[in-house]
Each structure stands twice: as structure tokens, then as C-alpha cells.
Chain A
Amino acid sequence: MSSVPTFLSQQARQVAQSLLTAIEGTRAVVVATADGFDLVQVGYSGVEASRLAAMVSSFAALGDAASRESGLGTPRCLVIDSTDGRLMVRCMQVRDHAIIVVVVTDKTALLGLVWNHLAAAEKAMNAE
């Protein structure tokens, strides 16, 4: 079981809820620790947060390895563009804690908008 500070779980819930509300076409938001534990899930209940958290932590780590291998530094965002929607994965550093925010959208959600909201969410979490 993951042990993360209470403040982080609370911030994660607020961020997840605000992303769900703010971005049209969002089906669910999951916030996970970098080692694959789900902290928060909001939105569509058909998403199994514990499994998705483990999966996104794996490919966030793979993205990080590939990015370093390519001399590109630390990845900020990964996108899985699928036939029926997208997974947008943002790797965030909130103070000393690495977390991953996953936004599950349908095809109507605007990629740039999701990107902007995720970047703003990271700023807001670090400003609190």
C-alpha cells in the first residue's frame, strides 16, 4: 500500500475534479503515484483505477527511459490516441513527490486544451 502525504491526496482530488469539470469530453481522471498506486479516480466508473494506475506508471517510466536515451530530458506528457478517444498522461513533480495524472477523453476533447489544463494544474499544485 502506498504511503503518500494527506495533502497530496487532497490536492490530487481537487485537481482531478477540476479537470473533469473543465475539459469537455473528459470521461475520467485518475491520479497515480509514480510507482503505480491510484490516489484518486473521478468520472466514469468503468475505468478500473488500480489497473490503469499501474499501467500508466509503466509507460510513463518507459517514456522517461526513451526520452533520456534520446537526449530529450524529462518527459512531461504522453498521449495515446485511440480509435474511440485519448489517454493523456502528465508526469508531475509536486514538491518532492512524483505523480501521474491521466485524463481519459473521448474524441471530442481538444488535445491542446487538455495539455494546458494539465500544465496549469501542476503549477497550481506547486503554488499551494
Chain B
Amino acid sequence: MATLNHLKIVFTGTPGAGKTTAIGALSDTPPVVTDVRNTDASLGKENTTVGLDFGQVDLGDGQFVRLFGTPGQLRFEFMWQIIATDALGLVILIDNSRPNPLDDLAIYLDAYKDLLPTMSCAVGIGRTIECPLPTVDDFCDMLAARGLLFPVLAVDVRKREDVLTLVDTVLVQAEMRL
């Protein structure tokens, strides 16, 4: 079980949404990556994560956050559950340039539906400048339709402050649950 000075937050979400980049942007130590060459032309990227990503960040006052990233593809769903065990919170990253971002979010909400009632969560939407639709409000409406109330933020995961905001959002929710 996570304690509040040794926290575990999991980054999940669509392939190419920037989970590895986000952890790399925030981690104080060189992240552990398990990227291999991608052979799926539909993804349009050279490498893809098949195991997990890991990094950690010192929040000060003796608080460390361990950051874990999942593979994005559905065929790695078994890893989603393994990695999320004992996590304090979940960050779901969505790539708004994909064909159906709302459907993408639904996949991860379904996958984690048993954990979400007791887990803090934030949703980060990437590439919103190039692809403004669906809007952040559309994602909020979708969550509300499922009876879920999580912060949804437009983010650029290459920016450390954006990733930190997502993590902070998760931590604030966790503190409120105490």
C-alpha cells in the first residue's frame, strides 16, 4: 500500500500520447524505459513501450513520487493491471490527434473501472492546439455521463510544469480522500 511519503502514480493512455515523454520530463533520475522498435505502421512512430517506464521525482519534505508508465496498446492490457497495483493515482493521457479520442478514453476508463472508485485520477489531453476537438468540456461531459468527476487538462507533456500539474492534481485528490 502506498504511504504518503512514498507515492506511486501510473501514467496510462493511448500509444503516442507521451507517457514515456511525460515521465522523462518529470523524473529527477534517468528514467527506466523499455522501448523497442515499433513494427505497427498504423502508429506512425519509430519506438514503442512494451514493458513499463519508471522514474521518480522528489517533491521535497521527504516526499517522493514514483512514476510508472504503461504500454499503450490494448494487447498489453495485462501490464495495465500489474503496474496499477497499489497505485495512489492514475494519469490518463489522450492524444487528441487520433481518430476517436473520446473512444480512446473509454478504453482506459473501462480497463480501470474497478480501481477508479478508490483511486485519484487526472486526464491529460495532448495536441489540443493542432486538434482542438473534442474539447476539454467534451471529455468532462463524457466522464460525467459515467458518473465520474476527474480533472481534465490540456497538456504538453514535453513541458515539465504541465506534467507536474497533472501529478499535483492527483496528489491533491489523494489528500482530500484522507
| A2-B39, A2-B40 as given contacts; A50 in contact with B34, CB under 8 Å | no
Q: Does residue B42 face the partner (Cβ distance < 8 Å to A)?
A: yes
Determine if A69 and B32 form an interchain contact, defined as CB atoms under 8 angstroms apart: yes
Determine if B50 and A57 form an interchain contact, defined as CB atoms under 8 angstroms apart: yes
Determine if B42 and A1 form an interchain contact, defined as CB atoms under 8 angstroms apart: yes
Determine if B39 and A35 form an interchain contact, defined as CB atoms under 8 angstroms apart: yes
User: How many contacts between A and B, using CB within 8 angstroms?
Assistant: 67
Determine if B40 and A62 form an interchain contact, defined as CB atoms under 8 angstroms apart: no
| A36-B75, A58-B50, A58-B71 as given contacts; A65 in contact with B40, CB under 8 Å | no
CB within 8 Å of A: which B50-70 residues: 50-52
CB within 8 Å of A: which B82-133 residues: none
Question: Secondary structure at chain A's binding surface: helix, strand, loop or mixed?
Answer: helix
Chain A residues whose CB sits within 8 angstroms of the CB of B75 once the complex forms:
36-37, 50-51, 54
Q: Does residue A34 face the partner (Cβ distance < 8 Å to B)?
A: yes
Determine if A35 and B33 form an interchain contact, defined as CB atoms under 8 angstroms apart: no
Q: Does residue B174 face the partner (Cβ distance < 8 Å to A)?
A: no
Q: How many whole Å from B19's CB to the nearest CB in chain A?
A: 14
Residue in chain A with minimal CB distance to B78 = A55
Determine if B76 and A37 form an interchain contact, defined as CB atoms under 8 angstroms apart: no
Q: Does residue B73 face the partner (Cβ distance < 8 Å to A)?
A: yes
Chain B residues whose CB sits within 8 angstroms of the CB of A61 once the complex forms:
34-36, 49-51
Q: Which of A4, A34, A36, A65 contacts B76 (CB 8 A)?
A: A36
Chain A residues whose CB sits within 8 angstroms of the CB of B76 once the complex forms:
36, 54, 58
Chain A residues whose CB sits within 8 angstroms of the CB of B38 once the complex forms:
35
Q: Does residue A110 face the partner (Cβ distance < 8 Å to B)?
A: no
- Name which of A1, A50, A58, A65 has the most chain B CB atoms within 10 A of its CB: A58
Determine if A3 and B36 form an interchain contact, defined as CB atoms under 8 angstroms apart: no
Q: How many whole Å from A76's CB to the nearest CB in chain B?
A: 16
Extra 12 A-B pairs, beta carbons < 8 Å, given A35-B40, A60-B50, A65-B34: A1-B41, A1-B42, A3-B40, A33-B39, A35-B37, A35-B38, A36-B71, A51-B78, A54-B76, A55-B78, A58-B52, A58-B71
